[in-house]
Structure 1
Amino acid sequence: MTIRPLSQDDLPEVLDIECQGYSFPWSESVFRGCFRPDYRLWALEMCDRLSGYAVVAYMAGEAHLLNLCVAASQRRSGAGRRLLRHLVAESARDGMSQVLLEVRDSNTGAMNLYASEGFSVIGRRPGYYPGGREREDALVMALSFDSRCDSPGPP
């Protein structure tokens, strides 16, 4: 597995993976709008093939994970965890104070991944995601880089 910056040339494969992963996928124009200086876009390759991607916006000293998706054939292989760890490390290296994200209330697999990497639920956004007949809530999760430091023990 290798991780590199995503390029606009990757968009056909990105859109294919996006449609595999989401009932309401982002459009090509949304992805194209993310190629800007305050965003970081990461591509995960396995066997020289794009297998996942992440889109992170840097705003007010915080990294906001907007989209992380792995090809259906690569799910549960550790690919998503590898991509998540990479974007967290890069965000810390770039001086961000924390990583924030929203996750569908029904997406227990993703919530478990984020929790196992140290993210905690800090809020809820009612009706955040489009759904069938009704919209679905999002849980807001955060990983603060300050909280990752070891606190001193008792004197």
Structure 2
Amino acid sequence: MSAAVLSAPLAEPAPLAAAQAIEARFEPMTLERLDAVLAIEQAAYSHPWTRGNFADTLAAGHQAQCLLADGELLGYFVAMPGFQEVHLLNITVAPAFQRQGWALVMLDALALWSRGQGAEWLWLEVRIGNARAQKIYLKRGFARVGVRKGYYPLGHGEREDAVVMSLRLLEQV
């Protein structure tokens, strides 16, 4: 995915002013960006990915993109291509930029890239307790297709189920 410039309205425009647009672009996630990625990951999750998780996914050649605006990291996603499908492994918006539409921008970019790879399906798992994320996925056309029991760690030896969701990327023939 090459750098692309995108814009999204600010969530809370200034009083009596029209919504401003922020220009953002995608750039590949690199080892040099991992400190910034990890800072967001640790701020956003109770059980964040580790530096090793990100380094491994980069070494494996997974699709890993950072969304940047004015030199600041807004968010990122990591996806693993497979045969006629792509599996979203991680999508995160920096807490300071949540509820501004950036998750939708990243999902749209991922879907576009996936279609370009010939994928017919986009798959993901989301914590069963993460209703906000599920709402975002449903808004983009994902469907709930199953549950993975005990998929996510909760702490103290407990586990949380994951909702499996999929999005059909290609029109049915």
Q: TM-score, normalised by structure 2?
A: 0.82
User: Residues 33 and 150 of structure 1: is their aligned pair in 2 closer, same or farther, counting only changes over 3 Å?
Assistant: closer
Question: Does the alignment pair 1:109 with 2:132?
Answer: yes
Give 1:36 deviation, angstroms: 3.8
User: Which runs of no fewer than 5 residues in structure 1 stay unpaired?
Assistant: none
2:127 and 2:160 in contact (8 A); partners too: yes
Question: Does the alignment pair 1:96 with 2:119?
Answer: yes
User: Residues 36 and 130 of structure 1: is their aligned pair in 2 closer, same or farther, counting only changes over 3 Å?
Assistant: same
CA distance in 2, matches of 1:140, 1:19: 24
Give 1:37 deviation, angstroms: 5.6
Give the count of matched residue pairs. Answer: 149
Give 1:100 deviation, angstroms: 0.2
List 4+ stretches of structure 1 deviating above 4 A. Answer: none
CA distance in 2, matches of 1:150, 1:92: 13
2:62 to 39, 46, 49: 39
1:17 to 40, 43, 54: 40
Aligned AA (1:45): L
What residue in structure 1 maps to residue 167 of structure 2?
143
Give the 5 Å matches for 1:124-135: 124-133=147-156, 134-135=158-159
User: Which runs of no fewer than 5 residues in structure 2 stay unpaired?
Assistant: 1-23
What residue in structure 1 maps to residue 52 of structure 2?
29
CA distance in 1, matches of 2:129, 2:70: 31
Give the 5 Å matches for 1:53-92: 53-92=76-115
SS at the partner of 1:130? strand
2:111 and 2:169 in contact (8 A); partners too: no
Q: TM-score, normalised by structure 1?
A: 0.91
1:44 and 1:53 in contact (8 A); partners too: yes
Aligned AA (2:90): N
